[in-house]
A and B are shown apart, each in its own frame.
Chain A
Amino acid sequence: MIEVDMMKKVQVREQDPKVRATNFDEVCLGYNEEEAMAESTRCLNCKNPKCVEGCPVSINIPGFIQKVKSGEFKEAADIIAESSALPAICGRVCPQESQCEGKCIRGIKGESVSIGKLERFTADWAREHGIKPEVKAEKKGKKVAVIGSGPSGLTCAGDLAKMGYDVTIFEALHKAGGVLVYGIPEFRLPKDAVVQPEIENVKALGVKIETDVVIGKSVTIDELLEEEGFDAVFVGSGAGLPKFMGIPGEQALGVFSANEFLTRNNLMKAYRDDYDTPIARGKKVVVVGGGNVAMDAARTALRLGAEVHVVYRRSEAELPARVEEVHHAKEEGIIFDLLQNPVEILEDDKGWVKGIRIIKMELGEPDESGRRRPVEVPGSEYEIECDTVIMSLGTSPNPLISSTTKGLEINRRKCIVADEASGATSKSGVYAGGDAVTGAATVILAMGAGKAAAKGIDEFLSK
């Protein structure tokens, strides 16, 4: 029997930091049945559960946890499946601390219930026991095209298929999954073990996936509607365009966007011997930025053998990354250079990076985002030696689709304008959601938007 301290989460097993810093296996090992049942006894089963309010897709959290408590794991999985199509993924990558767990009553005096880990346990148990989603809907005889196979596209496609629509996903890359396969690394989200089965589940609902199709280039949205017989389109094309700083030396060899670095390693598996992909493995790597993407790039570079510094212009409290990732990164030996900002990248005579010049910052008045604005400390510049710089400054939506679709309105941040409740855009029959609408956000928000748009599309096509 596990003894449970009601103030504290049942500890989850993790790979030792020293060991995992040298491999790409998953860091967190998750709960086993006994641990999950023990943790679930901490849930107060509130009448008016705050956690559900904190969940962007309103999973019946106390409901599934009660089933875990009584060992009815399949029933627990069924309850989650009512609201979420990708629970094994969300259990691993959602920022629970600011969502469900952030609202948990237990969290007022002690630690919140470990909702994310229980969700992950339930989803993993269901997958390992071969439980598949059921399809019972009658065919509607209508075709919907979904652009992009990230969480928003997969969710929208899955929901529409369950309603009886004939759905095809078009994906630009050679593999489905969006950021789940090209961005988030194996050690946080295993591809073959976790992501692929979730994609297979969506296919099992009858969804077709056509990879290697770049909408706006291979075929346009207007052609899909007018020539290929689609009755509606959902755009879930994400926010994939990387930003650079515009500082001197940024064209030097050895400067990468986090997207390139992560794509080479995750999608194209540079870290594995059986793949042809090369990657520059620096000896000393500077990652610029403080989000999840920066943490992933830093921890990947570390695993490829580098000493890694994360340079971020605000302080620790403002790091936008999930708390768990920052904690893991520190445990693994990533060095955080906070309140600092690069001003120039220095190159050697061959054009390769040899260092970076950095200026110290201090926090001034709050800006429009409510966070205190970092301002430069005059005369505080210094240089550090490094051979690789990875820019992780955020991403924005790719204009490829908006610029090739007549009558699709975008805002000044290049995001597609869409109604939050239904996903409807300015163009009839075209719906959108996820990062393409919000700018870079989270997996669960993208899923929520995919769900809302599926409902919106169903209403539109049922008229």
Chain B
Amino acid sequence: MFKIIKAEKLAENIYSMIIEAPRIAKSCEPGQFVIVRADEEAERIPLTICDYDRSAGTVTIVTQVVGASSLKIVGLKTGDCLADITGPLGRPSDFIDEDIEEVKKRNYLFVAGGLGAAPVYPQVKWMKEHGVSFDVIVGTKTKDTLIMEREMEEVAGDHLFITTDDGSYKRHGMVTVVMEDLIKEGRKYDVCVAIGPMIMMKFAAKTSLSNGIPTIVSMNPIMVDGTGMCGACRLVVGDEVKFACVDGPEFDASKVDFDGAMKRMALYKTEEGRAFLKEKEGLTHKGNCGNC
């Protein structure tokens, strides 16, 4: 059992939790994730590590409600316990293992869409701590769905660019518009890291790659164990089949088959897909589609 030190609502359907998990806090790095189970009957669901405090032995996770098991997680309050949290899983971001002097020579562009602000945050925090230069774009549907603005501002200062699809707050338009704007202003980037919904990553990557910027994306397919044991998370990267939980979750965007990955995800994320799933799963369909 893992104690919830603090549970907090960030926006409609989005919650953050600080969890006591000393082993994970000690060894996690930006780019990695955890698998969480709310209680004995819940599913195992992968969640990003959004922040960590090594000395306090805590990690922060951000959950968006999509189905029965995530609903269970956000139903827990400060002082309650999660049945399980396992990790850190996946490979840390590439820059963690690279020569820091090389990394310092680069200018990074981080692009976060929606919930993607959570996994991007520890990366920009790391950049700041290590004196690496960067800009960060945070895009969201509308003002009310924006998360982690204060935290981002603290580490990014005037390198933070917020945009809303509907123009209700700060800049107006998709993240790709801001990317184009910054590039047009003459800003030069050596690496782009784009994290968010699959469709957003696909178009963000298209924009950065067409401007000649090597791009990394973080994939979030269906997972079960998170240790390479089941293959549920497999993706085609280049010509190879990779398991996102152990080979990723971050991959070179130029090699990712976004359409293939979206097809696998469509099942769980679209209206039509969910109805189909309900029929396929028959009696074992337990409302994870978020529709019932």
A contact residues vs B (CB 8 Å cutoff): 172-174, 211-214, 217-219, 240-242, 244, 246, 250-251, 253-254, 256-257, 259-260, 263-264, 268-271, 273-282, 304-305, 350-352, 387, 398, 400
A-B contact count, CB below 8 Å? Answer: 129
User: 15 more A-B contacts (CB under 8 A) besides A246-B241, A281-B284?
Assistant: A172-B86, A217-B89, A218-B23, A218-B27, A242-B230, A251-B264, A253-B263, A253-B267, A257-B231, A274-B41, A276-B69, A276-B287, A278-B284, A281-B281, A305-B282
Q: Are A242 and B284 in contact (CB under 8 A)?
A: no
**B132 at interface, CB cutoff 8 A:** no
Q: Are B85 and A212 in contact (CB under 8 A)?
A: yes
Residue of B227, B230, B263, B267 near A260 (CB, 8 A) is B230
Interface size on B, residues (CB 8 A): 47
The answer to whether B27 touches A275 (Cβ under 8 A) is: no
Question: Known contacts being A259-B229, A276-B42, is A264 close to B283, with CB within 8 Å?
Answer: no
A to B CB contacts below 8 Å, 27 in the list: A172-B86, A173-B225, A213-B23, A218-B86, A218-B87, A219-B26, A241-B228, A251-B260, A253-B264, A254-B280, A257-B232, A259-B229, A260-B232, A268-B44, A276-B69, A276-B72, A276-B288, A278-B285, A278-B288, A281-B280, A281-B281, A281-B283, A281-B284, A304-B284, A350-B263, A351-B263, A398-B229
Given A251-B234, A271-B284, A400-B246: A172 and B227 interface contact (C-beta under 8 Å): yes
| B227 in contact with A214 (CB, 8 Å) | yes
Indicate whether B24 reaches chain A with its CB closer than 8 angstroms: yes
Q: Which 6 A-B pairs have the closest CB atoms?
A: A260-B230, A257-B231, A240-B229, A212-B86, A174-B84, A351-B263
Question: Which of A250, A275, A279 is in CB contact (< 8 Å) with B41?
Answer: A275
**Known interface pairs A217-B27, A281-B282; A259-B230 also in contact (CB < 8 Å):** yes
Q: Which residues of the partner chain B approach A304 to less than 8 Å between Cβ atoms?
A: 282, 284
Q: In the complex, A173 Cα to B246 Cα: how many Å?
A: 15
Whether A276 lies near B68 (C-beta < 8 A) is yes
Nearest to A398 among chain B residues (CB) is B228
Shortest Cβ gap from A334 to chain B (Å): 20
> With A244-B231, A350-B276 as given contacts, are A217 and B284 in contact (CB-CB < 8 Å)?
no
Contact flag A219-B23 (CB < 8 Å), given A174-B37, A280-B280, A351-B263: yes
**Chain B residues with Cβ under 8 A from A241's Cβ?**
228-229
Q: Is there a chain A Cβ closer than 8 Å to B252's Cβ?
A: no
Which residues of chain B from 17 to 34 have a CB within 8 Å of any chain A CB? 23-24, 26-27
A257 and B284 alpha carbons, distance in the complex (Å): 19
Q: Is B14 an interface residue (CB 8 A)?
A: no
Contacts of A219 in B (CB 8 A): 23, 26-27
Contacts of A250 in B (CB 8 A): 241
CB A274 to nearest CB in B, in angstroms, measures 6
Contacts of B24 in A (CB 8 A): 218
- Tell me, rounded to whole Å, the shortest Cβ–Cβ distance linking A401 to chain B: 11
Alpha-carbon gap, A274 to B72, bound state (A): 14
Please, how many angstroms separate the alpha-carbon atoms of A48 and B88 in the complex? 54
Q: Contact between A277 and B89 (Cβ–Cβ < 8 Å)?
A: no
**B287 contact set on A, CB distance < 8 A:** 276
B159 touches A (CB below 8 Å): no
CB of B65 within 8 Å of the partner chain: no
Note all chain B residues with C-beta closer than 8 A to A352: 276
Contact residues, B68-113 vs A (CB, 8 A): 68-69, 72, 83-89
A442 vs B285: C-alpha distance in the bound complex, in angstroms?
34
B213 is an interface residue with CB less than 8 A from chain A: no
